[in-house]
Structure 1
Amino acid sequence: MAEFLMPSLGADMETGTVVQWLVQPGARVNPGDVVAVVETHKGAIDVEIFLDGVIGELAPLGESLPVGAVLARVAVAGEEGTSAPPAALVSRAAPSAIPSSVAGAPVEAPAAVPALPEMPAATPQRARVSPAARRRAQALGLQPDALRGTGMDGSVTLADVERAASQPQPAAMQAVAPQRVKPVGFDAAQMRQAIAAAMSRSKREIPHYYLAETVDFAAAQAWLDHWNRDRLPQDRLLSAVLLLKATALALRDVPQLNGFYESGQFRHGDGIHIGWAIALRGGGLVAPAIHHADQKTLPELMSALRDLVQRARAGGLRSSELTDPTITVSSLGDRGAASVWGVIYPPQVAIVGFGRVLSQPWVVDGQVLPRPVVNASLAADHRASDGHLGGQLLVAIHRALQTPQDL
């Protein structure tokens, strides 16, 4: 039996609480399926599983479990295993000190999980459903995963739920009450304490170095104004998207800043997954990943960014978005300060910051003219790189923004 463990949803997470199971024992799961909702100080997170098999025993709801504790056992393909009693799944020890009875030693069990060939047909993969739509569907007694979605990538929206509620529903769409407990709710003070602890540890353990570059934003601003001129508001781009794409392309040139410092050495990320810092309503901060940001077009990035901000503030992030950002970008926006100096989020090795776009005197062809500029900063880990490489990254960002049509 393979073990599905409580994931680490960031360096500032120590424990999590399963508030809802979206699968039951005997259910078939595939890599990427969302199987549980785990509440942390960042809110309720949809947790994905990356095992292929059949669910055995599940940890009970409502228990605060440390990162690395066993949440479920899974009979993987071709394996016959036994299910463990719930008590064996709930270890309050630190991940490195989980008792042998949890870590895989034989335990007695009343029933065996059948081998996969004997299982019925695989259950459909869970649909993408916005948090507001899922809550509304449950309130109306509908099964949100059975509804037809009209949102981005076929996701089910609140409008889809309301439309379905006004029509007679077949039995398959009637909701089966999932196993769940009432979430505690967002606690801004707890989040700030967790962030402070993680950032204090980062400053204490990581040898930061800092660099800055003032970026001429005139070409980017002119291109952006032209792009947005005849488009509807929902199709317009923000300057943040140009900064995001320029950073992603610059990381292709300087991959030494895209990855993690673990076990005394640098490990390259498997893609350019930019963690975008999002301020939460009521206080707090989260930086989920936009995956493969360098491969997306500007409209695709704008759509992904809008979706990410909406879900972050509504409590609908997925675990994969919190576990694999390879670098963090913090943009203060039009109402922010002129510049920002970040603290590295371990195990990442760098964070890029952008202030608001300012009009400043700038020398153009020997003349001093007013020019839109943005201050870019870099905080990087001296164990993984040095100022020469860091400077190359900032220069590459500056260079990319001079040809916005190529972003």
Structure 2
Amino acid sequence: MAEFRMPSLGADMESGTVLEWLVGPGDQVRRGDVVAVVDTDKAAIDVECFDSGVIERLLVQPGEKVSVGTPLALIAATGADAGPAPPETAARPRETPPPAPHPAALSPLVRRRAAEAGLDIATLTGTGPGGVVTAADVDHALHPAVPVAAPLVPSVTPGPPEPVVAAAPGARIHVSPYARRLAAERGVDPTVLRGSGPDGVVHARDVPAVPAPVVTNGAGPAPVAATALRRATAALMARSKREIPHYYLALDIDLGPALDWLRAHNRAIPVAARVLPAAVLLRAVVLAAQAVPELNGHWIDDRFVPGRGVQLGVAVSLRGGGLVVPVIRDAGTLGLDDLMARVREGGERARTGRLRSSEAGGATITVTNLGELGVDAVDGVIHPPQVALVGFGAVRPRPWAAGDAVLVRPVVTATLSADHRATDGALGARLLREIDRRLRRPEEL
């Protein structure tokens, strides 16, 4: 009998909340299957199991917060005798999702959205092949379309809508992944919503189409309660600046050779799969981290622990505010096209609140790119226990000395924030020069 335990989804994670089980007793699972959704202080994560077998028992109910390492479920090996049913007091109850007319034809996403919205799938009209209910059908049932030209505020109203009262600054609000995505799309802060689920969990049906006003006392702007993500980020960044003696380096890099090569490379690739300049920068960082392994790893217990391969963290800004860092595992084994595909997938899952546990935590070096926001350079804050963070600014045409001539070239500023406990400036400079060298030889990427 194997125990499925609360995983560590980041170096700073101490506990997590089970938001949703995607399996139940008797369900067969394989290693790598997503079996639960866990809420950390930063994001809702799809958690994968590490064993194959049959779910024997769920030990933690949705909404419960437990420490890292706590057993969440028992998994019996396939074909093993499960034995007599456990006593009622030993097993935790599990809510069964509404029955579907054709369960084999429904995707897990459809079942999940319908269950968390409290919809009976049998009452929905499917628009998929053979009348199968799709995710779009669930969305339509939750939020029927309205005319685009309809005014946001009608001229005559029966009464003001009930205002949403912001939660206390220290309160912990649990939000389902789908509700989190809807809230981000609609510009709603989910932490100020009243949840209709067990223990106040916010579901998709609780997210208004238009943000409701927040009640304030007195004149003037009201204090803004920090979201759980912002509080977690604040704590981590404060710890980083308190514990890590940062040093900073910068290097201007001529991207002309890389951009010329990339244009030729993309000609033979479908538009949807074309490689973006950001992926070229990431690939150069991966190769540089392999060449300068002293900056690829962790500082733990007063010593440097080299990373096993390059586990590349890529900072992603969320539409509703905040920052998450999905991790591309073993990035050194990926070619440029595969790296681009992983960046797209991880970024999309991060922005929709559907990161997987295999993409959370464990990065050995992180890259942040603020070029799209128009900044020239970024001096980032290291994510402990990592020892380095590479930043890129915007690519701009600048004067560039080439021999005796001065040309206008596309130039990007690469920066390095590094931990002075692990390395000195000479090694940091070597990493930046290695990035520069790789970008000057894009055919080797």
TM-score by length of 1: 0.73
Check 1:321–1:81 CA distance in 2 against 1; reply closer, same or farther (3 A cut).
farther
Q: 1:275 and 1:65 mapped to 2: Cα distance?
A: 26
Q: 1:199 and 1:262 mapped to 2: Cα distance?
A: 17
Taking the TM superposition and a 5 Å limit, the aligned residue runs for 1:79-118 are none
Q: Secondary structure at the match of 1:383?
A: coil
1:57·1:86 contact (CA, 8 Å) conserved in 2?
no
Q: Secondary structure at the match of 2:344?
A: helix
Question: In structure 1, what residue type is equivalent to 2:304?
Answer: F
Question: In structure 2, what residue type is equivalent to 1:43?
Answer: A
Q: Secondary structure at the match of 1:320?
A: helix
Q: 1:87 and 1:66 mapped to 2: Cα distance?
A: 22
1:73·1:83 contact (CA, 8 Å) conserved in 2?
no
* 1:271 positional shift: 2.1
* 1:260 positional shift: 1.9
Q: What are the Cα deviations for residues 64-114 of structure 1, in whole angstroms up to 9, with x where unaligned?
A: 223333322345699999998899899xxxxxxxxxxxxxxxxxxxxxxxx
2:288·2:435 contact (CA, 8 Å) conserved in 1?
yes
Q: 1:243 and 1:338 mapped to 2: Cα distance?
A: 15
2:286·2:332 contact (CA, 8 Å) conserved in 1?
yes
Question: In structure 2, what residue type is equivalent to 1:329?
Answer: V
Q: Secondary structure at the match of 1:270?
A: coil
- In structure 1, what is the equivalent of residue 433 of structure 2? 395
Q: Secondary structure at the match of 2:228?
A: helix
Q: CA RMSD in A?
A: 3.6
Check 1:87–1:51 CA distance in 2 against 1; reply closer, same or farther (3 A cut).
farther
Q: Is 1:350 the counterpart of 2:328 in the alignment? A: no
Q: Is 1:39 the counterpart of 2:39 in the alignment? A: yes
2:11·2:361 contact (CA, 8 Å) conserved in 1?
no
Q: 1:137 and 1:282 mapped to 2: Cα distance?
A: 25
Check 1:141–1:324 CA distance in 2 against 1; reply closer, same or farther (3 A cut).
farther
Check 1:137–1:65 CA distance in 2 against 1; reply closer, same or farther (3 A cut).
closer
* 1:194 positional shift: 0.8
- In structure 1, what is the equivalent of residue 234 of structure 2? 196
Question: In structure 2, what residue type is equivalent to 1:389?
Answer: L
Q: Which of 70-79 and 221-230 deviates more?
A: 70-79
Q: 2:110 and 2:28 mapped to 1: Cα distance?
A: 27
Q: Which of 183-192 and 58-67 deviates more?
A: 183-192
Check 1:23–1:301 CA distance in 2 against 1; reply closer, same or farther (3 A cut).
same
Taking the TM superposition and a 5 Å limit, the aligned residue runs for 1:164-183 are 165-167=128-130, 183=176
Check 1:132–1:329 CA distance in 2 against 1; reply closer, same or farther (3 A cut).
farther
- In structure 2, what is the equivalent of residue 67 of structure 1? 68
Q: Secondary structure at the match of 2:401?
A: strand
Q: What are the Cα deviations for residues 156-210 of structure 1, in whole angstroms up to 9, with x where unaligned?
A: xxxxxx87x33156xxxxxxxxxxx972745472211110110100111122222
Match of 2:409 among 371, 385, 392: 371
Taking the TM superposition and a 5 Å limit, the aligned residue runs for 1:8-407 are 8-58=8-58, 59-75=60-76, 135=113, 141=121, 165-167=128-130, 183=176, 185=180, 186-187=190-191, 189-228=227-266, 232-407=270-445
Gaps of 5+ in 2: 93-106, 133-173, 181-189, 192-225
Larger Rg: 2
2:42·2:232 contact (CA, 8 Å) conserved in 1?
no
Check 1:231–1:342 CA distance in 2 against 1; reply closer, same or farther (3 A cut).
same
Q: Alignment length, in residue pairs?
A: 343
Q: 1:133 and 1:397 mapped to 2: Cα distance?
A: 46
Q: 1:348 and 1:70 mapped to 2: Cα distance?
A: 28
Check 1:371–1:266 CA distance in 2 against 1; reply closer, same or farther (3 A cut).
same
Q: Which of 245-254 and 1-10 deviates more?
A: 1-10
1:359·1:371 contact (CA, 8 Å) conserved in 2?
yes
Q: Secondary structure at the match of 2:383?
A: coil
* 1:350 positional shift: 1.1
* 1:14 positional shift: 4.2
Q: 1:209 and 1:85 mapped to 2: Cα distance?
A: 59
Q: 2:247 and 2:429 mapped to 1: Cα distance?
A: 11
Q: 1:354 and 1:86 mapped to 2: Cα distance?
A: 57
2:326·2:347 contact (CA, 8 Å) conserved in 1?
no
Question: In structure 2, what residue type is equivalent to 1:9?
Answer: L
Q: Secondary structure at the match of 1:167?
A: helix
Check 1:258–1:88 CA distance in 2 against 1; reply closer, same or farther (3 A cut).
farther
* 1:345 positional shift: 0.8
Q: 2:428 and 2:441 mapped to 1: Cα distance?
A: 21
2:257·2:439 contact (CA, 8 Å) conserved in 1?
yes
Question: In structure 1, what residue type is equivalent to 2:44?
Answer: A
Q: 1:238 and 1:39 mapped to 2: Cα distance?
A: 31
Percent identity, aligned pairs only? 49
Check 1:136–1:364 CA distance in 2 against 1; reply closer, same or farther (3 A cut).
farther
Check 1:167–1:374 CA distance in 2 against 1; reply closer, same or farther (3 A cut).
same
* 1:13 positional shift: 3.8
Q: 1:206 and 1:86 mapped to 2: Cα distance?
A: 50
TM-score by length of 2: 0.68
Q: 1:384 and 1:64 mapped to 2: Cα distance?
A: 35
* 1:390 positional shift: 1.5
2:377·2:413 contact (CA, 8 Å) conserved in 1?
yes
1:72·1:89 contact (CA, 8 Å) conserved in 2?
no
Q: Secondary structure at the match of 2:360?
A: helix
Q: Secondary structure at the match of 1:334?
A: helix
* 1:376 positional shift: 0.8
Q: 2:296 and 2:91 mapped to 1: Cα distance?
A: 36
Check 1:75–1:394 CA distance in 2 against 1; reply closer, same or farther (3 A cut).
same
Question: In structure 2, what residue type is equivalent to 1:63?
Answer: E
1:70·1:89 contact (CA, 8 Å) conserved in 2?
no
Q: Secondary structure at the match of 2:130?
A: coil
